[in-house]
Amino acid sequence: MVLVEISDSAESKSSMICVDNLRGVSEFSLDFLKDRVKVRASCHGLLCCSSIPDKGVYYVCNPMTREFKLLPKSRERPVTRFYPDGEATLVGLACDLSRNKFNVVLAGHHRTFGHRPDGTFICLIFDSDSNKWRKFVSFQDDNFTHMNKNQVVFVNGALHWLTGSCSYILALDLDYEFWRKISLPDEVSYGTGNRVYLLEFGGSLSLIQISDAWMKIWVMKDYERELWHMVDRVSLRCIRGLVPGIFPITQTGEYVLLASHKQVLVYHRRSRLWKEMYSVKNGATLPLWFSAHAFRSTIFPCD
């Protein structure tokens, strides 16, 4: 499934929909939070949301059960530019089904007032077992695009983000609290018409490369040895006009769901057919891919 926020330019408000390959399109609400929020991350049926009016306020919720947890403030002092705040560079949610716990990660560069970031990367990790934040500091000089930030993947006990340069994957090991760099497949090239995206596939890391004519899909078969295998190669000829603005959001062994500026499409892997699942009828201010997140229904508790 895909969660998409629809921004209505005429009424200056937004609503949410859920697009499911089997059930179609349905309305989706987070009104039980009693706050205006922005979805920042999704994992195993839980969502991490940040408050729009109150910077630094975060919720973890299960939209299916309407349960939620207001996270304790990550620090005592008010939001400043010295810490990752409500607009932290990276926001990740990790739900460990085997241990019935979750972590929220806020990470960003340290920046003294009036200066550019000095490479110091501050990472705050919330642990649902202890109900507390912990902090560690490292050095990172990576940048991330909007889609890189949205497409965070939790597998093998770590959160993963594709860097803005698409030169490698940055992974945060949550048990041992260290950052690791993971190589991309040798065949993957970025630039000159190629775009690369990080997704999850059956509990493994997956990369999707989109060029003018092809969508190539890799899955990591061996995490420790960083071995990738190409599992699919899809012709984009029949949706050629949409290719420059199309973004993969989620996938299974049966389909890939993608979002463009005003449409949500599904590609059926067995039949190799494309289908439009949703189309914006009014003048949305933001493209659908800008606020689209992978989602699955679950009864995972968040309290």
Structure token pair of residue 249 = 């959001």
- Answer yes or no: are the C-beta atoms of 41 and 93 closer than 8 Å: yes
Which H or E element spans position 7? strand 2-8
The predicted structure's pLDDT at residue 117: 61
Please check whether residue 65 is in contact with residue 72, taking contact to mean a CB–CB distance below 8 angstroms: no
Q: Enter the tokens of residue 72.
A: 């304790």
Sign of CA dihedral 240, 198, 150, 86: negative
List the beta strands (DSSP E) in 21-144: 24-28, 37-43, 46-51, 58-62, 67-70, 90-96, 101-109, 120-127, 132-139
**Which amino acid would we find at residue 187?**
E
Element (H, E) at 148: helix 146-150
pLDDT 10s digits, 86-117: 357 899 999 998 888 999 999 987 665 555 66
Based on C-alpha coordinates, what's the Rg of the chain?
A: 19
Distance CA 279, CA 17 (A): 11
Distance, in Å, from the CA atom of 231 to the CA atom of 216, rounded to the nearest integer, reads 8
What digits encode the pLDDT tens for the residues 52-92? 888 889 999 999 899 999 999 876 555 554 444 435 789 99
* Tokens matching residue 9: 């330019």
pLDDT in tens, the chain (303 residues): 888 888 765 555 678 888 888 888 888 889 999 999 999 999 999 999 999 888 889 999 999 899 999 999 876 555 554 444 435 789 999 999 888 899 999 998 766 555 566 678 889 999 999 999 999 888 877 788 888 888 899 999 999 999 988 889 999 999 999 999 999 998 887 767 789 999 999 999 999 999 989 999 999 999 999 999 999 999 999 888 888 889 999 999 999 999 988 889 999 999 999 999 998 877 666 788 888 888 887 766 776
pLDDT of residue 271: 94
pLDDT of 225 reads 94
- How high is the pLDDT of residue 111? 61
